[in-house]
Structure 1
Amino acid sequence: MDIVDAHCHIISADPARYPQAPIGGKQSQWAATRPVTAEGMIARMDETGIDQAVLVQATTNYGYDNSYVLDTTRAHPHRFVAVGTVDPLRPDAAASLKAAAGDGGLAGVRLFTSGSTVPTQGEWFVAPETFPFWEQAAALDLPVCLQMRLGPATGQLVELLERFPHVKILLDHIGYPDIANSPAKAGQDVAALGVHPGLHLKLTHRNLERLDDAGQNATDFLTPVLDAFGAGRIAWGSNLPAAEQSLPELRTLAEEILTDLPETDQQEIFAGTARRLYPRLTQA
């Protein structure tokens, strides 16, 4: 099967060349305890039968300094594309985004509004100061990965999708829906967002582990979400090495959860969606 890992991270073994500058001033535990270099990621991909991957900026290690993912993708253009980070609240955010995407630069951008080192969900991503950033992302047809938690901030996400319908937004970890509490309720909540054509979902171990725990009830989540979005708006990502499992284990987990889907749907989730969002992968 053709597989693209739509979400993995790399950490350089050379901190002098690529110094730490984590958003919030705190390095994530996984970056400190189980980092994977670019060369290590290639080795793991080869072991797992994955030809290409999307390197998502390790925001909790490098912040807004995209040097390592950019240097890596330029050194290995047939294996990787880079999704970097910019500060959309800066007055020069639109210009910075355009410059970062030019000349074989970023293939996408990520906004980190909540996560392991940012426990409070930020709602600044729809502030008026960010509008030039979103307009530039639409003009460049540049996908924006949004790391956020559904819940109180879902209203801001809907406002964003309605204000900028032409921006392709990829919701990291599907916004952490509460599958453990109720797969059916979580599925309904996510499916309700499917009316927004620009919204795409990134399916990772953070969802797949909960679906595995749910057993037969996993379909209560998957069925409404697939009905609302279609497989063509869902992309699988390993989240290695933030995920503790090995890459082969993460691939197997995804394949087991999705095994009952039609082969065409599986192909979309494992590669097709990512290749459309990041055309440079198709060209590689």
Structure 2
Amino acid sequence: MDVVDAHCHIISEDPAAYPKAPIGGKQSEWAATRPVTAEGMISRMDETGIAQSVLVQATTHYGYDNSYVLDSCRSRPERFVAVGTVDPLRPDAAANLKATVGAGGLAGVRLFTSGSTVPTQGEWFVAPETFPFWEQAGELELPVCLQMRLGPATAQLVELLERFPGVKVLLDHIGYPDIAASPARAGAEVAELAAHPGLHLKLTHRNLERLRDAGEQAWDFLGPVVEAFGAQRIAWGSNCPAAEQSLPELLALAREVLAGLPERDRQEIFAGTARRLYPSLGDHES
């Protein structure tokens, strides 16, 4: 089966060429203890049987400096596309966004509003100052990965999706729904968001581990979510090396949890959705 990893991170061994500059000034633990270079990622992909990957900026290591993911994609365009972190609050955000895409540029962008080093959920991603950014992203048909936590900020997400229905928003880690507390309740909350056609889901180990632990109740989440969104709006990402498991283990986890889905749905989740979101991947399909 064709596999595209829609979410992995790389870190250079050359801090002089690619200096550390984490958002908020705090480096993530995984970036310090188990970094993987672009070359190392290719080795892991080959070991796992993964054709291509989306290099998502390691925001908690490089902040807004996307040099390393861009350089890595330019050197191996048959294996990688780049998603870089940007600041949509910049007065020149729209012009800057337009300048970063295209041949040899970013295939998508990421807004980092919450995470292990940013525990307080930011709601600035829908501030009026960001509207030119969102308008430009829509005009460019550029996917925007949104790292956020569902909950109090879900209202802001809905506001964004309603205001900019043409923008493709890819919700990292599905917004960390609380599957462990109640797969059914979490599934219903996520499925409700499918009413917004621009919203896509990125399924990673942060969700898959909870679903594996839920056993048969995993389908109380997966059933309504897949039915509401369709597999065509769900993409798998490993989150390697932020995840502690190896890349083969992360892919095996996904295959185990999703084994009950029809093959056509698994094909979409493991590759088809990513290839539509990032058309340049299709130019190098193996």
TM-score range, shorter chain: over 0.9
Unmatched runs of 5 consecutive residues or more in structure 2: none
**Which residue pairs with 1:83 in the alignment?**
83
Q: Which amino acid counterpart does residue 259 of structure 1 have in structure 2?
A: A
| Residue 56 of structure 2: aligned partner | 56
The answer for the alignment partner of 2:144 in structure 1 is: 144
Alignment of 1:215-230 (within 5 A): 215-230=215-230
Query: Structure 2 matches for 1:92-241, cutoff 5 A?
Result: 92-241=92-241
Residue 83 of structure 1: SS of its match in structure 2? strand
Shift of 1:277: 0.1
Deviation (angstroms), 1:201 = 0.1
How far does the alpha carbon of each residue in 1:116-171 deviate from its partner, in whole angstroms, 9 at most, with x for none?
11000000000000000000000100000000000000000000000000000000
Hey, what's the Cα distance between the residues in 1 that align with 2:185 and 2:156?
A: 20
In 2, Cα distance between equivalents of 1:195 and 1:183: 20
Structure 1 residue ranges (4+ consecutive) displaced by more than 6 angstroms after TM superposition: none
Name the CA distance, whole Å, in 2 between partners of 1:53 and 1:241: 13
Q: Distance in 2 between matches of 1:155 and 1:283?
A: 37
- Taking the aligned partners of 1:74 and 1:103, their CA distance within structure 2 comes to 9
Matches for 1:260-271 after TM superposition, within 5 Å: 260-271=260-271
Q: What secondary structure does 1:202 align onto?
A: strand
Q: Find the aligned partners of 1:224 and 1:40 in 2 and give their Cα distance.
A: 37
- Deviation per CA, 1:27-77, whole angstroms, max 9, x where unpaired? 000000000000000000000000100000000000000000000000000
> In the aligned structure 1, how far is the partner of 2:37 from the partner of 2:102?
25
* Structure-2 separation of matches of 1:66 and 1:88: 15
Cα offset for 1:102?
3.1
Tell me the number of residue pairs that the alignment of Structure 1 and Structure 2 aligns. 284
Alpha-carbon separation, structure 2, partners of 1:243 and 1:103:
31
Once the 2 structures are TM-superposed, how far is the Cα of residue 85 of structure 1 from its aligned partner? 1.0
TM-score (norm 1): 1.00
Name the counterpart of 1:248: 248
Aligned equivalents of 1:102, 1:233: Cα separation in 2 = 23
Aligned-partner Cα distance in 1 for 2:92–2:184: 43
Q: TM-score when scaled to structure 2?
A: 0.99
Question: Which structure 1 segments of 5+ residues have no match?
Answer: none
Cα distance in 2 for partners of 1:252, 1:130 equals 39
Answer with 254-263 or 99-108: which moved more.
99-108
Taking only the aligned residue pairs, the percentage that are identical comes to 82
SS at match of 1:136: helix
How far apart are 1:103 and its partner, in Å? 3.2
Letter of the 2:205 partner, please give it.
Answer: H
Point out the more displaced range, 95-104 or 58-67: 95-104
Structure 2 residue matching 1:65: 3-state secondary structure: coil
Give the deviation of 1:79 after TM superposition.
Answer: 0.1
